[in-house]
Homo-oligomer: A and B are copies of this chain.
């Protein structure tokens, strides 16, 4: 069950906007959380820091991000630029439509149940992480 996600299908949708999954993941985090440091993004994506550095650098080159001052001089805090925000909204439509299509025929009740289970799995993952 778990080792066969449908990422490649999502990639097809994102490709329409010249976006990649890790990039989309960052945009999504910033759209829902306002701003983030690179370490914050690394935790979110469960990925090492250099990976985030690269993805963020690319998004900066595309002018989708802008800097805001952090509490440190070490940390680098970013948020969506106006261009990034408008892109996000646009891609959001595509992704929403994609999700609707693949959930077609599944009752609202079942959908909510599935989402709930995903949340529990995620919290299991996090507690597993913190133990380590």
Contacts and interface: CB of A to CB of B under 8 A. Distances in A.
Contact of A125 (B95, B102, B128): B102
Interface string A106-129: 100011011111101110110010
B95 A121 contact: no
> Copy number in this complex?
2
How big is chain A's contact interface, by range? Answer: 35 or more
B8 A47 contact: yes
Contacts of A10: 2-3
Nearest to A111: B117
Interface of A: 1-10, 21, 24-25, 28, 45-47, 95, 98-99, 101-106, 110-111, 113-118, 120-122, 124-125, 128
